[in-house]
Amino acid sequence: MLSWLIKRLLMLVPVFLAVSVVIFSILHFIPGDPIDNLLKVGSSPEARAEMEARYGLDRPLPVQYGLWLGNVVQGDLGTAIVARRPVADLIAQALPHSLRLGGLALLFSTVVGVTLGVVAALNRDRWPDRAIMGGVLVGSTMPSFWLGLILILIFSVSLGWFPVSGARGWNSLVLPVLTIGLGGTALVARITRVSMIEAAGRDFVTLLHAKGLSPLRIQLRHVLRHALIPVVTILALRIGWILGGAVTVEVVFARPGLGTLLIKSLSQHDYPVVQACLLMLAMAVMLGTLLGDILQALMDPRVRAALT
């Protein structure tokens, strides 16, 4: 198992490199002189020269990439144009907020989603199932930022229960987590229900009934364990989706975080920051998929056997 884990981690390296190449090239695909895109307007010739030397912009592209990559690996993500601070500082400030938001949203989606999915599967084709699936349909098709705005409208503006924006205290987390979480819940509930129904139709379940076990016990102890495996895998694959939701929600609720940073710097053309944010998000997605693979191996002995 350990050797598989190491191999899997090593496989991340080429993916990371490929993604980094794409992100690196953003700067160079943009029309205009890269230097102009890196400096504030009206900078002195000395600043320009220094920037050139720093990024090696007079050297061939692959070398530039190498320099950039080398810097990134050492933790030097460049300097923000607008804020004139090291990008790494900005990221370090923003990251904890995003992690908190994303983590809580993931937890919410998983717990509520699995519960709803189980209830729907156990009551197949009766009203709880129909109601939950109706909710799922609405939840998965609603644009997250609109949901966020509606929640603000109802709970902040009309009822005044929660703050409209900002990041102070638990209160400010409720609506953002709910916004991402409801969409995630819809996804998890749908997958849980489908896998439960599919698992319940398998042969070994007939035998479980033949052993005289109670149906509830069969569903919750055996079928659910089976059904959770695809849920975990798909959730891990869709971690990017949760991140995407986090980006939008941060903007809607004006919360500090990687998303707000990214969008703000996009509109400000602050490319070093844009690159760093995208890199962080890409890495989060890759780690998420890795986590999914690990969890799947932990949950399914057949997968474990296939890996050794």
Partner 1 sequence: MSALLDLDGVGVSIGRLALLEGISLTVERGQVLGLVGESGSGKSLTAMAAMGLLPLIGGRVTQGSVRFDGQDMAAMTEAQRRALRGGRIGFVTQNPMTALDPVQRIGEQVDVVSRLHLGLDRKAARARTLDLLTQLRIPEAAVVAEAWPHQLSGGMKQRIVIAMALAGDPDLIIADEPTTALDVTVQAQIIQILGNLVREKGVALLLITHDMGVVAQVCDRVAVLYAGRLAEEGPVRPLFAAPAHPYTAALIGCIPQDGMAKGSLTGIPGAVPSARAFPPGCRFHPRCARASDLCRSAPPPITPQGDGRVACHHPGAAR
Partner 2 sequence: MIAPLRALRRPQGALAGLWLILVICAAILAPLLTPYAYDIQALPNAYQPASAAHWLGTDEFGRDLLTRLIYGARTSLSVSATAISISVLCGMVLGAAAAWFGGWLDRVVTMTVDLTWSFPEILIALILVAIIGPGTTGVMIAIAVAYLAQFTRLTRAQIMTLRGETFIEAARSLGAGNGHILFRHLLPNALAPVLVSAMLATGDAIILEATLGFFGLGAQPPVPSWGGMMSAGSALVFKAPWVIIFPGLAVAITVVAINLYGDALIGELDIRSRLRRDA
Residues that bind partner 2 (CB under 8 A): 15, 18-19, 22-23, 26, 29-30, 137-138, 141-146, 149-150, 152-153, 157, 164, 191, 234, 237-241, 243-244, 247-248, 251-252, 262-263, 266-267, 271, 274, 278, 281-282, 285-286, 288-289
Q: Which does 222 bind (CB under 5 to 8 A by kind): partner 1, partner 2, none?
A: partner 1
If one counts every other C-beta atom within 10 angstroms of the C-beta of residue 218, the result is 16
Of 141, 168, 301, 308, which one interacts with partner 1 (CB under 8 A)? 301
Q: Would you say 85 or 217 has its CB closer to partner 1?
A: 217
Phi then psi for 79, rounded to 5 degrees? -115, 135
Binding to partner 1 (CB under 8 A) within 10-69 occurs at none
If one counts every other C-beta atom within 10 angstroms of the C-beta of residue 15, the result is 14
Contacts of 245 (CB under 8 A, 6+ apart): 105, 144, 179, 180, 183, 184
Q: Which does 208 bind (CB under 5 to 8 A by kind): partner 2, partner 1, none?
A: partner 1
Q: Which two tokens stand for residue 67?
A: 């320099």
Residue 299 interacts with partner 1 (CB under 8 A)? yes
Q: Would you say 171 or 206 has its CB closer to partner 1?
A: 206
CA distances from 80 to 76, 174, 199, 279 (A): 11, 31, 52, 15
- How far apart CA 188 and CA 119 sit, in angstroms, is 13
CA 14 to chain centre: 21
Of 124, 214, 254, 287, which one interacts with partner 1 (CB under 8 A)? 214
Contact residues toward partner 1 (CB under 8 A) are 202-204, 206-214, 222, 225-226, 229, 299-302, 305
